[in-house]
């Protein structure tokens, strides 16, 4: 799916509120403020060392997705980031987290495939699926424990009881750029060069989003629509 050596890179929860505020500040100023992020993180994370580590993850998410955020700002046409609905900001954060730590995408894909055959999934199922890709070790287990509360917060799944999870309500998205980013993330992280438009909504990744899709030919910031030799449209990275 990615390279043979899969990058994990995360072992502690990043609260949505902190990342959301950091994105807003970055879009307004173009600056990643370590001090502000750490101060906000301390409101959600006990201990300076743990907060410091989680803050570094926020900074990585911003710095590694700087070009995407720049394009988002341009697409908003000077409208404040806060005007995006909460669901859309959560969808954005989910994509950025996945782009920074692809294990998140792999985890969500495995979960979506599992939910197609059963309504609830236990922690053992989750661990087995992810460890089949990343290896069975403590680092992977710690990453899963960090990611589960994050993806719950982002509407993908919900915790029914201890170690039991079901499908969440998903994120409703109508902002064109974020719709485009959702597709871009899937193409990029699945290792596909393109996705047939007819297959789009059947792919596991889209289980977590409710999009209007509309005229896919309008996408132009991150992906483009092309026609195949057999007359079927597909989407590919720009």
- Give whole-number Cα distances, 191 to 73, 156, 226, in Å: 27, 22, 18
Under the banding of pLDDT at 50, 70 and 90, the label for residue 5 is low
Rounded to an integer, what distance in angstroms lies between the CA atom of residue 62 and that of residue 30? Answer: 10
Under the banding of pLDDT at 50, 70 and 90, the label for residue 2 is very low
Interior/surface letters 60-93, b for 16+ CB within 10 angstroms, e for the rest: bbbeebeebbebbbeeeeeeebeebeebbbbbbb
What is the per-residue pLDDT across 157-208, written as a single tens digit (0 to 9) for each? 999 999 999 999 999 999 999 999 999 999 999 999 899 988 988 999 999 9
Q: Are residues 143 and 185 in the same domain?
A: no
Under the banding of pLDDT at 50, 70 and 90, the label for residue 213 is low
Note whether residue 143 is domain-resident: yes
Q: Are residues 142 and 181 in the same domain?
A: no
Of the residues 167, 184, 204, which one is the last residue of a structural domain?
167
Closest CA to 19 of 104, 79, 123: 104
Of the residues 113, 136, 167, which one is the last residue of a structural domain?
167
Q: Are residues 115 and 141 in the same domain?
A: yes
Q: Are residues 161 and 177 in the same domain?
A: no
Bridge partners (DSSP) of residue 122 are: 164
Residue 146 makes CB contacts below 8 A (sequence gap 6+) with 10, 11, 12, 13
DSSP code of 77? T
DSSP code of 111? H
Query: Which residue segment(s) compose the domain that 225 sits in?
Result: 173-237
Q: Are residues 160 and 112 in the same domain?
A: yes
Note whether residue 38 is domain-resident: no
Q: Are residues 205 and 150 in the same domain?
A: no
The yes-or-no verdict on residue 212 having pLDDT over 90 is no
Note whether residue 62 is domain-resident: no
Note whether residue 39 is domain-resident: no
Q: Are residues 118 and 144 in the same domain?
A: yes
Q: How many CA atoms lie within 13 A of 109 on its CB side?
A: 16
Note whether residue 217 is domain-resident: yes
What is the per-residue pLDDT across 65-86, written as a single tens digit (0 to 9) for each? 999 999 999 999 889 999 999 9
Under the banding of pLDDT at 50, 70 and 90, the label for residue 4 is very low
Of the residues 167, 186, 204, which one is the last residue of a structural domain?
167
Q: What is the mean pLDDT of the chain?
A: 92
Note whether residue 199 is domain-resident: yes
What is the per-residue pLDDT across 22-76, written as a single tens digit (0 to 9) for each? 999 999 999 999 999 999 999 999 999 999 999 999 999 999 999 999 999 999 9
Is there a contact between 234 and 221 (Cβ–Cβ < 8 Å)?
no
How many domains does one find in the chain? Answer: 2
Q: Are residues 149 and 180 in the same domain?
A: no
3-state secondary structure of 235: strand
pTM (2 d.p.) = 0.94
Note whether residue 20 is domain-resident: no
Note whether residue 130 is domain-resident: yes
What is the per-residue pLDDT across 123-148, written as a single tens digit (0 to 9) for each? 999 999 999 999 999 999 999 999 99
The yes-or-no verdict on residue 95 having pLDDT over 80 is yes
* CATH code for the domain in which residue 161 is found: 1.10.10
């Amino acid at each position: 799916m990615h390279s043979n050596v899969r990058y994990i890179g995360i072992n502690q929860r990043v609260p949505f509120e902190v990342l959301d505020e950091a994105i807003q500040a970055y879009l307004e100023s173009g600056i990643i403020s370590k001090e502000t992020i750490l101060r906000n993180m301390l409101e959600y994370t006990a201990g300076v060392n743990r907060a410091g580590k989680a803050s570094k993850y926020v900074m990585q998410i911003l710095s590694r997705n700087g070009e995407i955020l720049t394009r988002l700002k341009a697409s908003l046409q000077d409208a404040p980031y806060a005007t995006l609905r909460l669901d859309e900001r959560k969808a954005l954060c989910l994509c950025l987290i996945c782009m920074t730590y692809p294990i998140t995408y792999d985890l969500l894909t495995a979960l979506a495939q599992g939910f197609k055959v059963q309504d609830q999934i236990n922690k053992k199922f989750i661990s087995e699926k992810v460890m089949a890709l990343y290896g069975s070790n403590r680092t992977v287990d710690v990453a899963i424990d960090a990611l589960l509360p994050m993806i719950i917060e982002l509407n993908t799944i919900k915790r029914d009881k201890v170690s039991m999870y079901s499908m969440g309500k998903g994120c409703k998205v109508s902002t064109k750029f974020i719709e485009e980013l959702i597709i871009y993330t899937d193409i990029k992280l699945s290792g596909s060069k393109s996705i047939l438009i007819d297959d789009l909504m059947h792919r596991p990744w889209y289980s977590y989003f409710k999009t209007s899709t509309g005229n896919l030919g309008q996408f132009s910031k991150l992906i483009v629509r092309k026609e195949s030799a057999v007359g079927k449209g597909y989407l590919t990275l720009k």
